[in-house]
Amino acid sequence: PELFDGEIPFELSTSLSENRSPTATIALTARGRGRFGAYSSQRPLKCQVGDAEVEFSYDPNNGLLTFTIPIPEEEMYRWSIAIQV
């Protein structure tokens, strides 16, 4: 059996439909506000900050995913972030 190393060939990553079922959810916490960036080998289905789904941009040429983390109401607040791919 072939082991999956997390890499998806570029030809496949650009053809992945936004109507597909999620295969994984990346969950993390972060402090602060402003532009958040991460690299992904495939276009995310959705991004969530706290309880709200947020708009994001994804560049298939380099895999850069970006979205904005809003200004928190509390100082030193930890945002829960979820990225579905």
pLDDT at 15: 47
Domain assignment present for residue 59? The answer is yes
Number of domains present in the structure of the chain? 1
Within a domain: 15: yes
The domain of 67 spans: 10-84
The pLDDT value recorded for residue 5 is 56
pLDDT at 41: 92
* Residue whose C-alpha is closest to residue 67's, from 81, 27, 78: 81
The pTM score is: 0.74
pLDDT tens profile 28-77: 999 999 999 999 999 999 999 999 999 999 999 999 999 999 999 999 99
Q: Is residue 49 part of a domain?
A: yes
Assigned domain for 1 exists: no
Residue partners of 12: CB distance under 8 A and separation at least 6: none
